[in-house]
Amino acid sequence: MLIFDIAVFLSGWAIAQLIFSGYEAHVPWLKRLEKVAVIGLVLVPVQVYLGRPYFYGLLGLMTLGIAILHGYWFHYRHGIHWRTAEPRDKYLALISKNKTPAD
């Protein structure tokens, strides 16, 4: 069942990359793969030692966080499209620590 759960996680990640690719267009693919590997290194021990309910609970919690980030923080608070990250310059200014967001 571990293989199935990992496949579910990787499939969800791949679908999210297709849907929300605008948000990470400035990030190299290698860094994106490193991020998914780190998340996988956290999820696999959760599944092995705590079980499937905790694994899927953590996936659900992560999904909820992403929905809040994209749907509320970016879209409603800052006027950035929830899926495409447009206007691009405003999004990049918002995530940058050295710049202030454009109004």
Confidence of residue 98 (pLDDT cuts 50, 70, 90): low
Checking if the pLDDT of 97 tops 70, the result is no
Checking if the pLDDT of 24 tops 90, the result is no
* Orientation of helix 29-45 relative to helix 52-68, angle to 10°: 140
More confident site: 39 or 100? 39
- Average confidence (pLDDT) over 28-52: 95
| 85 Cβ contact partners less than 8 Å away, ≥ 6 residues apart | 20, 22, 23, 25, 74, 91
Specify the amino acid at residue 6: I
* CA–CA dist 32, 82 (Å, integer): 19
- Average confidence (pLDDT) over 76-96: 90
More confident site: 83 or 39? 39
pLDDT tens digits, 44-72: 999 999 999 999 999 999 999 999 998 99
